[in-house]
Amino acid sequence: MKDIFLTMACAGFCLPIAASVNAAEKGKPNVILLMADDIGWGDVGFNGNKEIKTPNLDQMSKDGIQFTRFYTAAPLCSPTRGSILTGRHPFRFGVLAAHTGGMRQAEVTIPEICKKNDYVTGFFGKWHLGWVEPEDVEKVGFYSPPWQHGYDVAFATKSAVPSWNPTKTPPNWKGFGSRDDGSWGGSRYVLNGTVVKENLDGDDSRVIMDRAIPFIEKSVKEEKPFFATIWFHAPHEPVVAGPKYLEMYKNLQPELKRHYYGCITALDEQVGRLRQVLKEMGIENNTMIFFSSDNGPADPMVKAGVGSAGPFRGHKHMIYEGGLRVPSLLVWPGTIEANKKVDTRMCSYDYLPTIVDLANLKNNMKERYFIDGISMKPAITGTGMVRDTTIFAAWMRLYDDVYGKALVGEQFKLLIPEHSKIPELYDLKNDPDEKINVIAKFPLIAAAMLKELSAWEKSCTDSQNGKDYAY
């Protein structure tokens, strides 16, 4: 058995581990992972949106680090979520798209590592990495709830719920989960396997935070470091904002935009509430808070002129920058520099090695267990860092021959779009919005990246077929 970082260093996928900054002075740092569902690059104030009200996220960007080149492992939800918790691309364990699988038991997750370091672990919000009720397993997917992957406490839904009144079908909503009697026929909240029936009215982000904060308070009272994963549903469909938030945007058109912006502002309000609680408990300086989105803005929101990928091309379900490049922040007062922008390429699968490195967590993984991510600590705590590994992003739906895949290098990005077999090459340094396909101009670069892509696909297939596991 070898330390995970020795393994990754030998494989060329990570930097050597080092003691976290001020860890000895502060004790084990608490870790909180915040994630929005379908927030695009341009859907926050700190990325230049002048209409939307996100004062707490904007303040986070001033109090900590903004990752300006943060990519998700896929342009949709479930694969990205799996990548965050495992440090691996989900193609390695069969989560190719939404509702197409569940996380395998053999996967090593951040909460599992934290538990071995005497942390208490809690999950709150949208899981989407497997079913959370064994009797509710449908035609696709598997029962694989958070408590099977290292979480002591889990207040979770299988997938999406309305962002206001999550147990009721919104007016005029005829999509998934709708019922004629006004109840919600989709995912429902369970607490460690038991269906929850209380305190489920109003803003869904508040419903989630109402469970996360008591978990944190209990951890502090028991003098235990904690790892909390808080994954909001907003602004995923059904997009609904409450009256207070609609009033904030009463002059905006169309109505959908008022709901979209309103539920994002409601989410932002809960981020501010969380930070205030940490401050009041005196643990603000010993708690790192990460924030990101799981992918770019949803297709219908972009087409309606509501959601925004900012200057980037595409949206959710597209392998272009707009589907992959999302807002990302880190705050850790007293340890990391404030008002700092990190331009180093970062991916959602970098979370695990980065957190292990920053928190100086001990762990043991099998020697052959393959990690795609690298530690971003040098970029976070130092003056800069040049990533020498390529970022891989992909998603697939076998039934419809959908396979979008991309390699993102320091300057060039090779991609093969969904429903296409023809590769494209973009110079992100000079063309970040991917307007000009330069594959004819740089054939040798394209050929080398195609070869690298093929090797990565084989590596994922080997992992999925058992190479990384002991059977």
Q: What is the pLDDT of residues 192-248, one digit of tens each?
A: 999 999 999 999 999 999 999 999 999 999 999 999 999 999 999 999 999 999 999
The token duo for 409 is 């290098």
| DSSP H or E segment with residue 312 | none
- Indicate whether 404 belongs to any domain: yes
pLDDT at residue 4, rounded to an integer: 37
- Residue 157's CATH number: 3.40.720.10
Cβ neighbours of 384 (radius 10 Å): 9
Q: Which residues constitute the domain of residue 420?
A: 391-464
In terms of domains, do 46 and 80 share one?
yes
Express each pLDDT in 188-206 by its tens digit.
999 999 999 999 999 999 9
On whether the CB atoms of residues 50 and 378 are closer than 8 A, the answer is: no
pLDDT at residue 48, rounded to an integer: 97
Taking every pair of C-alpha atoms in the chain, what is the biggest distance, in angstroms?
62
CA triple 224-291-207, angle to 5 deg: 70
Residue 190's contacts (CB-CB under 8 Å, 6 or more residues apart) are 132, 133, 145, 154, 155, 156, 157, 196
On whether the CB atoms of residues 350 and 33 are closer than 8 A, the answer is: no
Amino acid in the structure at residue 455: A
- Indicate whether 93 belongs to any domain: yes
- Indicate whether 13 belongs to any domain: yes
Of 420, 456, 445, 430, which Cα lies nearest the Cα of 319? 420
Q: How far is CA 391 from CA 66, 312, 405, in A?
A: 19, 18, 11
- Indicate whether 470 belongs to any domain: no
Amino acid in the structure at residue 467: K
pLDDT at residue 471, rounded to an integer: 61
Number of domains the chain is built from: 2
In terms of domains, do 190 and 208 share one?
yes
Give the percent of the chain with pLDDT over 70: 92
In terms of domains, do 81 and 208 share one?
yes
The token duo for 189 is 């909240």
- Indicate whether 52 belongs to any domain: yes
pLDDT at residue 139, rounded to an integer: 60
In terms of domains, do 198 and 111 share one?
yes
Residue that terminates a domain, selected from 381, 408, 430: 381
The token duo for 464 is 């999925």
pLDDT at residue 6, rounded to an integer: 30
Of 290, 352, 368, 330, which Cα lies nearest the Cα of 113? 352
On whether the CB atoms of residues 102 and 55 are closer than 8 A, the answer is: no
In terms of domains, do 373 and 407 share one?
no
Cα separation of 428 and 442, whole Å? 13
Helices within 87-121 (DSSP H only): 110-116
- Indicate whether 161 belongs to any domain: yes
Cα separation of 447 and 440, whole Å? 11
Residue that terminates a domain, selected from 325, 351, 381: 381
Residue that terminates a domain, selected from 381, 407, 429: 381
Burial class (CB in 10 A: 0-12, 13-18, 19+), 195: exposed
In terms of domains, do 166 and 241 share one?
yes
On whether the CB atoms of residues 265 and 250 are closer than 8 A, the answer is: no
Residues forming a β-bridge with 286:
none
In terms of domains, do 353 and 430 share one?
no
Give the DSSP letter of residue 317: T
pLDDT at residue 184, rounded to an integer: 97
- Residue 411's CATH number: 3.30.1120.10
In terms of domains, do 113 and 247 share one?
yes
- Indicate whether 386 belongs to any domain: no
pLDDT at residue 134, rounded to an integer: 81
Beta-strand ranges (E) seen in 186-225 are 190-191, 194-195
Phi, psi of 291 (to 5 degrees): -135, 140
Cβ neighbours of 281 (radius 10 Å): 15
In terms of domains, do 106 and 79 share one?
yes
The token duo for 185 is 């026929």
In terms of domains, do 339 and 413 share one?
no
- Which residues of the chain register pLDDT less than 50? 1-25
The token duo for 62 is 């001033």
In terms of domains, do 424 and 446 share one?
yes
Amino acid in the structure at residue 245: Y
Cα separation of 137 and 454, whole Å? 34
CA triple 40-104-360, angle to 5 deg: 70
Amino acid in the structure at residue 375: S
In terms of domains, do 373 and 396 share one?
no
- Indicate whether 219 belongs to any domain: yes
